[in-house]
Amino acid sequence: MKRIGILTSGGDCQGLNAAIRGVAKALYVKWGKDLEIYGIQDGYRGLITGEYRKMKQEDFSGILTLGGTILGTSRQPFKKMRVIEEDNVDKVCAMKENFKKMKLDCLVILGGNGTHKTANLLSEEGIPVVTLPKTIDNDVWGTDMTFGFHSAVEIATTVVDCIHTTATSHGRVFIVEIMGHKVGWLPLYAGLAGGADVILLPEIPYKLNSIVKTLEQRNKEGKNFSILAVAEGAISAEEAKLSKKEFKSARASMQYPSISYRLAAELGEATGQEIRVTVPGHFQRGGSPCAYDRVLSTRFGTAAAQLIANKDYGKMVALKGTQIIGIPLSEVAGKLKTVPVDCEEIQSGRDLGISFGD
């Protein structure tokens, strides 16, 4: 009898259920009645506290298009995994004990950067692990694409598209704040797809005067509206010079709810134009996965099942070009896939006359 555990950790995104389905169905095809799958509730927290249930084969039917995760999820910071807190629980020991209690042959983990750090930790502790990269930020090292990204791009692009009509009608400047705290893949793609005039990314500190010049130039050309796709983690050139401590202090004392609102106030004062801010927020994580993510999640899931069948543990499935491969967790954990400032997408934007604020 093969016994496999599955958990989803970190922020939710589209395609999690499709990926779970891909893993489970491929394993059932291989082992049939000789397989038991245990769903671990609410991510690593469930593995720590021992909250899990034996799944039925029918649990994995009808979930291909379902958003969220049927297993629940939670954020368990990696930096606290080896810290014994007030509850006196040794988290790593607890996870290892519950793995043994379930008599698992392998643990399948779906998650982003923090999730993969802990997955690598468990692998180093001797637990057979296979992982799948999910995040709307597309910032997991080692894979060309994560599932959830394209679905979020579709939603963010739709927001930009809809803002265009009201911006042109009223002759306003609109800032659309798009998720991307440390990495700007999502605002970059949504900005390009939605025809934004300015795209601000965490990787490219912006200068207010540069944005002002872009808006003024558009006005001179008779274009009385502008769209800015702004990453929630966008930073000014002045902020980029600060230390981490100074930056956190500056943001903590900022009187605006987010960088987009501060930028709106600064641009309004500098240009005299009417500035509006739209924040789609968690809408970008929700809903049914797009067709691309359904296919990618399924491919990741079946590839993970093959790694399990081959006992090729300690690997993350990844998209490289058109192929799905397995790469060692040790090569993934702790690394962030940022947007290269000289990448083709940014160059294409510059060729179109899009300003990146620099």
Q: Is the pTM of the predicted complex or chain greater than 0.75?
A: yes
Residue 76 pLDDT more than 90? no
CA gap 162, 170 in Å, rounded: 13
Residue 108 pLDDT more than 90? yes
CA gap 206, 96 in Å, rounded: 46
Every domain range in the chain assigned CATH 3.40.50.460: 151-285
Q: Could you count the other beta carbons within 10 Å of the beta carbon of residue 89?
A: 12
CA atoms within 13 A on the CB side of 117: 14
CA gap 181, 52 in Å, rounded: 32
CA gap 253, 199 in Å, rounded: 25
Residues annotated as catalytic (active site), given as ranges: 137
End-to-end Cα distance, the chain: 59
Mean pLDDT to the nearest integer, 251-258 = 90
**Lowest mean pLDDT: which of 82-86, 133-137, 144-148, 284-288?**
82-86
Residue 126 pLDDT more than 90? yes
CA atoms within 13 A on the CB side of 235: 20
Helix boundaries (H) for 61-207: 91-101, 113-124, 149-170, 185-194
Per cent of the chain over pLDDT 70 is: 100
Mean pLDDT to the nearest integer, 282-287 = 90
Written out in words, the top-level CATH class of the domain with range 2-148+289-332 is: alpha beta
Q: pLDDT value at position 149? A: 97
pLDDT-based confidence at residue 7 (cuts at 50, 70, 90)? very high
Q: pLDDT value at position 77? A: 86
Residue 137 pLDDT more than 90? yes
Q: pLDDT value at position 252? A: 87
Mean pLDDT to the nearest integer, 317-333 = 96
Residue 345 pLDDT more than 90? yes
Q: pLDDT value at position 224? A: 86
Residue 72 pLDDT more than 90? yes
CA gap 209, 230 in Å, rounded: 16
Which strand ranges, in their side-by-side order, compose the sheet holding 173-178? 198-200, 226-231, 173-178, 275-278
pLDDT-based confidence at residue 86 (cuts at 50, 70, 90)? confident
354, 179 in Cβ contact below 8 A?
no
Residue 88 pLDDT more than 90? no
Residue 233 pLDDT more than 90? yes
Mean pLDDT to the nearest integer, 246-274 = 91
Q: Which residues, listed in sequence order, are joined to residue 38 by a DSSP beta bridge?
A: 5, 54
Q: pLDDT value at position 81? A: 86
Give Cα separations from 66 to 15, 59, 221, 225 (angstroms): 8, 12, 46, 37
Residue 283 pLDDT more than 90? no
Q: pLDDT value at position 274? A: 87
Mean pLDDT to the nearest integer, 162-172 = 86
289, 312 in Cβ contact below 8 A?
no
pLDDT-based confidence at residue 82 (cuts at 50, 70, 90)? confident
Write phi, then psi, for 257 (nearest 5 degrees). Answer: -70, -25
Model pLDDT for residues 19-64, shown as the tens digit of each residue: 999 999 999 999 999 999 999 999 999 999 999 999 999 999 999 9
Q: Could you count the other beta carbons within 10 Å of the beta carbon of residue 63?
A: 17
Q: pLDDT value at position 314? A: 97
Of the options 3.40.50.460, 3.30.43.10, 3.40.50.300, 1.10.260.40, the CATH number for the domain spanning 151-285 = 3.40.50.460
Sign of the CA dihedral running 192, 195, 197, 201: negative
Every domain range in the chain assigned CATH 3.40.50.450: 2-148+289-332
* Backbone Cα Rg of the chain: 22
Q: What is the largest CA-CA distance in the chain?
A: 72
CA gap 39, 6 in Å, rounded: 5
Model pLDDT for residues 191-201, shown as the tens digit of each residue: 999 999 999 99
CA gap 7, 10 in Å, rounded: 10
